[in-house]
Amino acid sequence: MKVIAGNWKMNGTRTGLTDMVAALQNVETENKIILCVPYTMLGVESNRIYMGAQDVSTHDHGAYTGEVSAQMVAATGAKYVIVGHSERRQYHNETNDIVRQKVTAALSAGLTPIVCVGETMDEKQAGKTMEIIESGVKESIPNDTNKNIIVAYEPRWAIGAGLTPTKEEIAEAHKLIADTLMSMGLSGTPILYGASVKGSNAAEIMSIPNVDGVLVGGASLKPDDFIPIITSVK
Ligand code: PGA
């Protein structure tokens, strides 16, 4: 069983989500399907797909105009939330420290955070990939975390770019994440790979050791692109 998570980013409509739910209804799979959609689409029901948000506030409630709390997300029936996606880190200056506070908020509301880590092209070229991944995991996940967490490795230079690291690079990154999680008492935590996953590369990526699933952006928006990823592995 693999975890196939979609990240719609700021795309789609509620009607489009209803169509996706209908399209996935009869797809034969034992994989766990998660769709992380804009807040306004949460509440669409499905007995097949787990819904998730793409961010949460560090705060519970209060005078924080425009923010949405983890409790509010949980109240829609959503079970997951992406935290620390590279676009949040890049465009909203989210640091590991902020991400950790969001993970705490998500966990206390009963949501499973999907915590993203990954290196930029500059960091890759400077030979810092492993350092960024390890500090991303250690600093973005609170010490007292239970096991209700997912980690996603997303090389930032490969997102939406049609680029993917080599199998060896993915294997090395996922091994480091697995070892780091083990040192934190979190062995068994699912580790997803994300960045330019599509039907044609999903099975190969998910055959790499320590890759427990994928986090899919662009190719999760349409059933014709998403279903081949879901059915590419058992
Ligand atoms: P992509 O996005 O699949 O479009 O590269 C992945 C992500 O940002 O989660």
Q: 146 falls in which pLDDT band (50, 70, 90)?
A: confident
Q: Tell me which residue has its CA closest to atom 3 in ligand 1.
A: 217
The pair of structure tokens assigned to 163 is 């680029």
Instruction: Report d(CA 40, CA 23) in Å as an integer.
Output: 20
CB atoms within 10 A of CB 69: 19
- Nearest atom in ligand 1 to the alpha carbon of residue 87 is 8
Q: Tell me which residue has its CA closest to atom 2 in ligand 1.
A: 217
Which whole number is the average pLDDT over 81-104?
97
Instruction: Report d(CA 35, CA 22) in Å as an integer.
Output: 13
Phi, then psi, of 112 in degrees rounded to 5: -95, 115
Instruction: Report d(CA 1, CA 23) in Å as an integer.
Output: 20
**Percent of the chain clearing pLDDT 70 (strictly above):** 100
- Nearest atom in ligand 1 to the alpha carbon of residue 196 is 5
Ligand 1 centre distance from Cα of residue 154 (Å): 8
Q: Tell me which residue has its CA closest to atom 1 in ligand 1.
A: 217
Q: 144 falls in which pLDDT band (50, 70, 90)?
A: confident
- Tokens 């902020």 map to which residue? 98
pLDDT over 90 at 234, yes or no: no
pLDDT over 90 at 184, yes or no: yes
The secondary element (H helix, E strand) that includes residue 7 is strand 3-7
Q: 163 falls in which pLDDT band (50, 70, 90)?
A: confident
Q: What is the tens place of the pLDDT at every residue in 111-135?
A: 999 999 999 999 999 999 999 999 9
Known catalytic residue at 85? yes
pLDDT over 90 at 162, yes or no: no
Q: 147 falls in which pLDDT band (50, 70, 90)?
A: confident
Q: Please give the biggest Cα pair distance in the chain.
A: 47
Which whole number is the average pLDDT over 25-41?
96
pLDDT over 90 at 145, yes or no: no
Q: Of 71, 58, 59, which is closest to residue 111 (Cα–Cα)?
A: 71
CB 81 within 8 A of CB 114: yes
pLDDT over 90 at 27, yes or no: yes
Query: What mean pLDDT is reported for the chain?
Result: 96
pLDDT over 90 at 31, yes or no: yes
Res 20: pLDDT = 97
pLDDT over 90 at 143, yes or no: no
Known catalytic residue at 134? no
Q: 205 falls in which pLDDT band (50, 70, 90)?
A: very high
Ligand 1 centre distance from Cα of residue 147 (Å): 25
Res 18: pLDDT = 97
pLDDT over 90 at 170, yes or no: yes
Q: What is the tens place of the pLDDT at every residue in 97-114?
A: 999 999 999 999 999 999
Instruction: Report d(CA 172, CA 166) in Å as an integer.
Output: 10
pLDDT over 90 at 197, yes or no: yes
The pair of structure tokens assigned to 56 is 């949460």
Res 110: pLDDT = 96
Catalytic residue among 28, 85, 94, 172: 85
Ligand 1 centre distance from Cα of residue 62 (Å): 32
Instruction: Report d(CA 57, CA 42) in Å as an integer.
Output: 16
- Nearest atom in ligand 1 to the alpha carbon of residue 216 is 3
Q: Of 159, 156, 220, 149, which is closest to residue 191 (Cα–Cα)?
A: 149
Res 108: pLDDT = 95
